[in-house]
Structure formats: structure tokens, C-alpha cells
Amino acid sequence: LREKVEQARGKPVATEDGVKVTLQLNVGLNTERDWLKELDIQSVGLYRTEIPFMMRERLPTEDEQVELYGQILQQFKAGTVVMRTLDVGGDKPLPYLPLSEENPFLGWRGIRMTLDHPEIFLVQIRAMLRAAVGRNNLNILLPMITSAEEVDEAARMVKQAYHEVAEESYDANASQLVMPKLGVMIEVPAMVYHMHTMVDKVDFFSVGSNDLTQYMLAVDRNNQRVAGLYDAFHPAVLHALKQIIERANELNKPVSVCGELAGEPGGALLLIAMGYRTLSMNSYNIDRIRWIIRHSKAADLDVMLERALAARSPQEVRKIVTMTLEEAG
């Protein structure tokens, strides 16, 4: 089966009846670089920059970050790279920035931390921009956004960093510095209802289904005791995901999904039925998702989605989805 699945590399990613889907990669470590080449994927939909930050004993310097980001931008120079700004806090503490909070997932995480530490945020954005000089394939993504004001403030800092880097002309090519596209993660449930407030500030949305599920269901995504309740197939989560794609389409903004749901066969098919056309996932999920899409029919997926949205529980959704997957082989 593995061989059969790998044979789909190089073939178009589309359903049997012609619905085209773009698959992108979630990456965090630069070490998997060689294997990524084999997968026939042009773009990175989520580069989790916190991973290299967590593996050190101190903040990486601006130059170190330029080096790291440059490698990934270079490797994917034929496509685009969505670099997410530092998303620490919650389950991802930095060893050199100890925090003690009663509810870390409701606390000082992601954009909340970096907006309070402009010196960390600006250095990171500057490093991204310096790494992108002459390449023009950088997109910047903001995690844990809860209000349009956070986006305003972050966008101001991106502009500031842009002007600094342009003026300093670190590189003889500085004139080739282009303003990156700016995106926002939809992963806090409030944002499902507030996408319109930031539409003039952002170029794209990216759905973080992991956190959206955790916050919608009020279930800590890492707590084993309640792990049975953490399920992105909850019909309420599916309704939210459907609403997000509908809003994004109304607002005429590109939207992708970069949470784990996009890399699960049933999840990917539900998302495609809702109208998502860009899915970003871990490298080891790419082959099987490409395969399952190529063996599905959009018309069948519509029926599956309709039934899933009407289901009463995640378990019921899983049954419905499994039936469709079995039909696809």
C-alpha cells in the first residue's frame, strides 16, 4: 500500500471529479530537509518558528535567525513559506523564560507575549525580512490573535522592521526587499465571528484547528484525563470550520487549514467538502492525503459533510467519515 500511495507523487492533487486541492507542509525543524524534497510539495503552510527557540538555552540572535529562516526560504524558493511568529506559552514554554500561570493555555501565549516584548518580536521580524531579501516568498502569520487591535499593533511593527531593514541595507540587494503578506491564525473561537474586523489589515487567514478545538470544547489538548473529549470531529467544531470558510469567501480572503485535522484523511475530506482548497500538514501525512483525495468524488463528500454536520456526536461523525473512507479504499 505504501508504494501505491507514494506513486501519487508528481500527480495532480484533485478529486476524481476534478476539484483541485493544494497541499502544503508544516515544518519546524530544519533537519528533515532532505526528505521533504521527495514529497513534491512546493510551499510551506506553517513554519513553527518556536521550535528552534525551544531547542536553545537562550534566545537565538538576529543573525542566527536570519540563517535559519534563510535555509527554509531557499529550500522552498519555488513556492511560498508561511512563517509564524513566535508562539510560545501554553504548552510551549521557553526554558530561559520561565512562566508560572494557573491556566497557561488561557494566559500569556503567542502574540500576547510578543506584543509585550517588542524587542523579541522586532528582532524576529527583522530576521525574517533580512532572510527574505531577494527571494520574495515570505508570508508572516500571527498566532493566537483575539482582536483586530493586536493585528494593528503587529502590523505596525512589521512595517517598522521593514523600514529599518530597508534603510540599513544589510545586503546589497536590499532594494529587492518586498513587504511580506500578513496573515492571522483563526484559532480562538471569538475570531470565527470577527474575521471582518481585520479584513483590511490582513492578506490571508490560516485555521489552527488544534487550538480552535481545544478552546471551543474547553478541553486542554494535552490533558490525558480529558483526552477523550478532545475531538476536532465534534459537530460544533465542524460548524465553526464551515462558517470560517464561508466568511473568508465572502471577504474574498484566502484561507487554509494548518491544524492536525488537515492531515487526517477524514478531516481533509470534510474540509474539502466545506470548500477549503489549501491544506497544510506534517510531512508524513502528505502521501496518504494526496492518495485519498485522488480516490474521492466531491459529490460523495458533499453527502458525507451534510450528514456529519447533522450528527449528534464526534463518534457519529467518525462513523459517517469511516464509511466514506472505506468506499474510497
Residue numbers of the site for ligand PEP (CB under 6 A)? 46, 48, 87, 187, 208-211, 258-259
CA distance 104 to 247: 30
Residues 18-57, interacting with Mg ion (CB under 5 A): none
Least distance in Å: CB of 33 to ligand PEP?
20
- Length of the chain in residues, anyone? 329
C-beta of 160 vs 210, nearer to ligand PEP? 210
CA dihedral sign, ordered 179, 180, 181, 184:
negative
C-beta of 110 vs 328, nearer to Mg ion? 110
Residue 48 touches which member of Mg ion, ligand PEP, none, C-beta under 5-8 Å by kind: ligand PEP
Residue 285 touches which member of Mg ion, ligand PEP, none, C-beta under 5-8 Å by kind: none
One-letter amino acid of 237: V
C-beta of 258 vs 305, nearer to ligand PEP? 258
Residue 89 touches which member of Mg ion, ligand PEP, none, C-beta under 5-8 Å by kind: none
C-beta of 208 vs 263, nearer to Mg ion? 208
| Helix, strand, coil percentages for the chain (3-state, nearest 5) | 55, 15, 35
Residue 259 touches which member of Mg ion, ligand PEP, none, C-beta under 5-8 Å by kind: ligand PEP
CA distance 135 to 171: 12
CA distance 203 to 187: 17
What cell numbers appear for 43 in the block?
510551499
Least distance in Å: CB of 208 to ligand PEP?
3
What cell numbers appear for 210 in the block?
488544534
Least distance in Å: CB of 178 to Mg ion?
27
Residue 55, judged by CB atoms within 10 A of its CB (0-12, 13-18, 19+), counts as: exposed
Residue 287 touches which member of Mg ion, ligand PEP, none, C-beta under 5-8 Å by kind: none
C-beta of 211 vs 260, nearer to Mg ion? 211
C-beta of 145 vs 308, nearer to ligand PEP? 145
Partners of 22 in the β-ladder: 278
C-beta of 160 vs 243, nearer to ligand PEP? 243
CB atoms within 10 A of CB 30: 16
Residues 206-235, interacting with Mg ion (CB under 5 A): 208, 211
Least distance in Å: CB of 185 to ligand PEP?
7
CA distance 184 to 207: 8
**Number of amino acids touching Mg ion (CB under 5 A):** 3
Give me the 172-211 binding string for Mg ion, x by CB under 5 A, dash otherwise: ---------------x--------------------x--x
CA distance 227 to 141: 28
Residue 209 touches which member of Mg ion, ligand PEP, none, C-beta under 5-8 Å by kind: ligand PEP
DSSP string covering 246-259:
HHHHHHT--EEE-S
Could you give the 3-state DSSP secondary structure of residue 26? strand
C-beta of 140 vs 177, nearer to ligand PEP? 140
- The closest of 137, 132, 197 to 161, measured between CA atoms, is 132
Q: Which residues bind Mg ion (CB under 5 A)?
A: 187, 208, 211
